[in-house]
Chains A and B, each alone.
Chain A
Amino acid sequence: MGDQPLLRVRGVHKTFTPRGFLGRRGPAGIQALRGVDLDVARGQVTALLGPNGAGKTTLISIICDLVRADAGSVSVADCAIPDRARQAQRLVGVATTNERSFFWRLTGRQNLEFFAALHGLARPVAARRSTELLTRFGLESHADRLFRTYSAGMKKRLALARAMLHEPPVLLLDEPTTSLDAAGTEDLHDLLRREIVPSGACVVWATHRVEEVRALCDQVIVLVDGEVRFDGATDRFMRRHGSRVGYEIEVGAPSEAVGPVGAYLRSIGAVLHDPLGAGADVGTRVGLPEVRDEPQLSEVLGKCLGLGATIRRVEPMQVSLRQVFANLREEGRPDASGHGSVEGGHA
C-alpha cells in the first residue's frame, strides 16, 4: 500500500443534460467536470478549492455514487465506482451543505443512530458510537433535543459526526463552514484539527475560502469551470497565489508618534487607507500585505506599540479568490506549458 493513493480519480467528465418532456433533448448541457484527475493519500487533508459552480459538489457526488460520471474512473482503495460502489461507500464518509438531509423531527442522537444502522452498525455499537461522537463534537448536552432546534453550527457539527460514524478512511466535506459566522467557522476548524486530522483519514475539503486552505490543508486542488487548474502542496500554492494574504490592522497614533509610526509602516510595505490620524482615538485602517504569519505580525505590532501607537483591531486579510481564480485561468491556458493545464503538479 504505502503511498498508494486511497482516493483516485482519473479523467472524470460529467455533463448534465437537461431533458425536455419525455426525453426530448432540451437546451445544451452543462459541463460540470471536464477531465478531472485527483489523488489523495492516507492522512492527507486536501482542499478542493473553487468558486461556486466549479464542480466541487458534482465531483463529491460522483465519489459517493450519487451521480454517475460520463467518462473516467473513480476508485476508493481499489474499489471502482460504480461497479463496487457499496464496498467503496463503506470507506467513505460525506458531510454535505444540505442540513435538510437530517430528519428534523428526530433528535441529534436518533439521527445518528439511524444513519449508523444504514452503515451496518449493530444497535449497541451504533448507540455507543453516536454517544462518543456527540461528545467529541460538543453536542452531548443537545443530543436529545430535536434536530430542528439546533443552531447552524450544531447542524454542521452533527453533519461531521454523521460522516464519521463508520470510521471511514476517506472523508468528503462539502463546504462544511458555509453559512457559519466567524466564530462558528473557527470552531469547526478546531474540531477538524482536533478530531478529524489525527484520525488519519484522507480528507477532501471542498471550499471557496482561501484562508481555510492555508489554515488546514496539506494539499490544494483548484477546480475552475470543471477543470483542475492547480494541484500541489499548500505552501507552494500560497507562495504562488497567496501574495495577497496578510493582515489588516487599525492603528491610532498620538500626534508626536504619527511621523515615526507612518515611516515604519511604509518601510514594511503597509498600505495606509487614510493618513494616520492625530490622536489615539482616531483609528486608521492599514493593510499589511507582506506580513505572512503570526510571529511576523507580533513583531510589527510590537514595533508600532513601541513607537507609541495604539492598535485597535487586527484581522487576517482575505485573499481575493476571484483574483486567484483569474490568475489560474490565465496561467492555466494549455499554451502556457507543454503538457496541458495543470499547474503545480506531481505529474
Chain B
Amino acid sequence: MRRLASLIMAFVRRDARIATSYKLHFALQLFGGLFTVVMFYFIAKMTDPNASGGPLSQFGTDYFSFVLVGIVATGFLQTGVGLADRLRVAMGEGSLEMMFACPVRPIWILILPAIWELLFQMGQAVVMIALGVVLFGADLSHANWPAGLVLLLATVAAYSVFGILSTGIILVIKRGDPIRWLVTELAALVAGAYFPVALLPDWLERIAAVLPMTYAYHGIRMTVLKGAGLSDVSVDLAVLVGFAAIGLPLAAYCCHLAIGKAKRDGLLGSF
C-alpha cells in the first residue's frame, strides 16, 4: 500500500512537471473547454427557456445547464478512454522499456499516468463550471456535489475499461485502435451528451440503454442539476460500478496477455 502510494505520487509528480513545462499548451488545455461552453451558450439561446414538459423536464433545468454538465462529464469519459495516449508516447520514446525493466507490475505502469489526467480533468471541470455559472448563468444551485463527484469517478472507472483495452491493442499492433473512436462517438451521439436520450428514435434509445455512458450522464445530471442523492441514482451508480467491477479485471487480463505477446514479439521497445 505504501509502495503503491509512493508510486502514484511519483507518476503524478512526473506528469505534472511535464504538463506544466509546456506552459502555453497547459493553459490552452485548461481553458480549452471554454470554447465549447461558449458555443453551446449561443446554441442554448435558440432554445425556449420556458419550455416545460419537454424532454428536459426530468432534470428541471434549461438547456445550457443541461449541456454544460454533459460537456464536463464527457471530459471524464475521455480521461478513462484516453489512457492509451500516454502509452503510445512512452513506447515511441523508449521510456516504456526502461519502466518495464523496473520491478513494478506492468499494469501500474500503464494505468498510473491516468491519475494526473484525472486531477487535470477535475481542474478543467472546475474552471468550466465556474465560468459557466458566473459568466453564462448556468443554474447549478441545487447541485449535490459530493454525489456528483462519486458518479464522475465511477464514470472514469467504467471507461478505463476501454482505455485499458486500447492500451493492450496498441501494445500489440502499435497503432491507433478503433475502440476509443467508437466509444467516444457513441457516447456523444447516443448516450445523451448534448441532448436528452428521450429525443432519440426507439432503436437508438435501445442502444443507449446498453451504454454505461447513458447512465453516467443521467446520474450526474440528476445529482448536479436536481440535487439528487446517491440513493436516488442508485441504478446509474450500480451500472457504472458493476461495469467497472467486471470490466476492469477482464481488461487488465487482456492487457496482461498483450504484454506477454509484446515481449515474445520484441515489441516493447522502439524498433
B269 within 8 A of A: yes
A182 within 8 A of B: no
Contact count band on A: 35 or more
Q: Told that A65-B263, A101-B93, A117-B10 touch, could you supply 16 new A-B pairs with CB distance under 8 A?
A: A61-B266, A68-B263, A86-B103, A89-B101, A94-B101, A96-B97, A101-B98, A102-B95, A103-B18, A106-B18, A115-B99, A115-B102, A118-B99, A119-B103, A120-B3, A122-B6
Q: Which of A17, A61, A90, A119: most chain B Cβ within 10 A?
A: A61
Binding site for A on B (CB under 8 A): 3, 6-7, 9-10, 13-14, 17-18, 21-22, 93-95, 97-105, 109, 260, 263-266, 268-270
Shortest Cβ gap from A216 to chain B (Å): 23
Q: Bound state CA distance, A65 and B13, in angstroms?
A: 27
Q: Bound state CA distance, A92 and B101, in angstroms?
A: 9
The 7 residue pairs across chains A and B that have the minimum distance between CB atoms: A117-B10, A118-B102, A101-B98, A89-B103, A98-B94, A101-B94, A68-B263
Residue of A nearest to B100 (CB): A66
Q: Bound state CA distance, A146 and B18, in angstroms?
A: 11
- Ordered by A's residue number, 9 sampled pairs between the chains whose C-beta atoms are within 8 Å are A89-B101, A92-B101, A96-B94, A101-B93, A101-B97, A114-B13, A123-B6, A146-B21, A162-B98
User: B266 contacts A98, CB within 8 Å?
Assistant: no
Q: Give chain B residues whose Cβ lies under 8 Å from the Cβ of A92.
A: 101
A64 within 8 A of B: yes
Q: Give chain B residues whose Cβ lies under 8 Å from the Cβ of A227.
A: none
Q: Bound state CA distance, A17 and B265, in angstroms?
A: 7
Given A98-B97, A101-B94: A67 and B263 interface contact (C-beta under 8 Å)? yes
Q: Give chain B residues whose Cβ lies under 8 Å from the Cβ of A102.
A: 95, 98
Q: Bound state CA distance, A347 and B218, in angstroms?
A: 72
Q: Give chain A residues whose Cβ lies under 8 Å from the Cβ of B13.
A: 110, 114
Q: Bound state CA distance, A31 and B211, in angstroms?
A: 47
Please report whether the interface of chain B is mostly helix, strand, loop or mixed according to DSSP.
helix
Shortest Cβ gap from B172 to chain A (Å): 10
User: B265 contacts A118, CB within 8 Å?
Assistant: no
User: A118 contacts B263, CB within 8 Å?
Assistant: no
Partner of B102, one of A16, A17, A119, A122: A119
Q: Bound state CA distance, A208 and B70, in angstroms?
A: 59
User: A118 contacts B95, CB within 8 Å?
Assistant: no
B interface footprint on A1-32 (CB within 8 Å = 1, 0 otherwise): 00000000000000011010000000000000
Given A105-B18, A113-B10: A100 and B3 interface contact (C-beta under 8 Å)? no
Residue of A nearest to B260 (CB): A68
Given A113-B10, A120-B3: A89 and B95 interface contact (C-beta under 8 Å)? no
Q: Give chain A residues whose Cβ lies under 8 Å from the Cβ of B268.
A: 66-67
A58 within 8 A of B: yes
Partner of A110, one of B14, B100, B103: B14
Shortest Cβ gap from A129 to chain B (Å): 14
Q: Bound state CA distance, A255 and B103, in angstroms?
A: 69
Given A61-B266, A86-B103: A106 and B9 interface contact (C-beta under 8 Å)? no
User: B14 contacts A118, CB within 8 Å?
Assistant: no
Partner of B9, one of A58, A68, A115, A123: A123
Q: Bound state CA distance, A291 and B99, in angstroms?
A: 46
Given A16-B265, A61-B266, A87-B103: A118 and B10 interface contact (C-beta under 8 Å)? yes
Q: Give chain A residues whose Cβ lies under 8 Å from the Cβ of B14.
A: 103, 106, 110, 114
Shortest Cβ gap from B112 to chain A (Å): 10
Residue of B nearest to A159 (CB): B98
Q: Give chain B residues whose Cβ lies under 8 Å from the Cβ of A19.
A: 265
Q: Bound state CA distance, A86 and B101, in angstroms?
A: 9
Given A90-B103, A122-B6: A96 and B98 interface contact (C-beta under 8 Å)? yes
Shortest Cβ gap from A201 to chain B (Å): 16
B interface footprint on A112-132 (CB within 8 Å = 1, 0 otherwise): 011101111011000000000
User: A110 contacts B101, CB within 8 Å?
Assistant: no
Q: Give chain A residues whose Cβ lies under 8 Å from the Cβ of B95.
A: 100-103
Q: Give chain A residues whose Cβ lies under 8 Å from the Cβ of B105.
A: 86
